[in-house]
Amino acid sequence: SGSASDSTASPLARRKQGPTDWPSKLRTDIRGLCNPSSFMDKHAIPNFANRICAEYLQMFGAPEQAPYGVLQQLQSVFVDRASNSGLRKSIFFTFNELCAMLKIDTAHCSAKFFRHAGWLFLKAVEAAHLDADERHSYAVFVRGRGGRSSHIWTLANNAEPRHRQDWRKRMERWCASMETGVPL
């Protein structure tokens, strides 16, 4: 089962080869964001987000299911008390990169379901045990600076107007909750 072709097979072919614990593999890869070489590589987070889109989304099921499976793994590592602030920041920035890539439907991810799974992820971030400075930094990042908003803030820009408005209201409430410490 360890042939050289296994490592070069497409993600779909590897999925068909047999059962793999994709959630565990993804969590291990997420934790890998915390190694020193990842901190030094400015492309580590965008490359990881690309890998999630290219490989993991299709492993977690249909386009309506995949965003939940992937973001639940990001969430589980983020809220783990053993995760340090550097790893949490890397996870949050990975989520931001995913928001840039998944604003529209793709073959393996429904934008509508990604927004909903993303909201669940953000609610878990809000409920996590973070100090006030870390909470504040995430709120500031999401809102953006200098007229440039995060991809998280603009995730619904391609959606219908009512969905855009709903997302903006959610982001405003989330940022306020992160800054004040008052739960959603």
Measured distance CA(85)–CA(34) in Å, rounded: 10
Q: Please name the amino acid found at residue 61.
A: G
pLDDT at res. 119: 98
pLDDT single digits (tens) 62-86 = 999 999 999 999 999 999 999 999 9
Structure tokens belonging to residue 12: 């779909």
Contact (CB, 8 A) for 154 and 165: no
Q: What are phi and psi of 10, to 5 degrees?
A: -65, 155
Q: Please name the amino acid found at residue 165.
A: Q
Which one-letter DSSP state was computed for residue 33? G
* Interhelix angle 85-101/66-79, nearest 10 degrees: 160
CA nearest neighbour of 142 among 129, 160, 155: 155
pLDDT at res. 39: 77
Structure tokens belonging to residue 87: 């790893």
Which residue(s) pair with 148 in the sheet? Answer: 145
Is residue 83 helix, strand or coil?
A: coil
Structure tokens belonging to residue 26: 């993804």
Contact (CB, 8 A) for 102 and 55: no
Taking only the tens of pLDDT, the chain with its 184 residues reads 344 444 444 444 444 444 578 999 999 999 999 888 887 889 999 999 999 999 999 999 999 999 999 999 999 999 999 999 999 999 999 999 999 999 999 999 999 999 999 999 999 999 999 999 999 999 999 999 888 999 999 999 999 999 999 999 999 999 999 999 998 8
Which residue(s) pair with 145 in the sheet? Answer: 148
pLDDT at res. 20: 74
Q: Is 181 left (phi over 0), alpha (psi -120 to 50) or beta?
A: left
Residue 4: CB atoms within 10 A of its CB come to 6
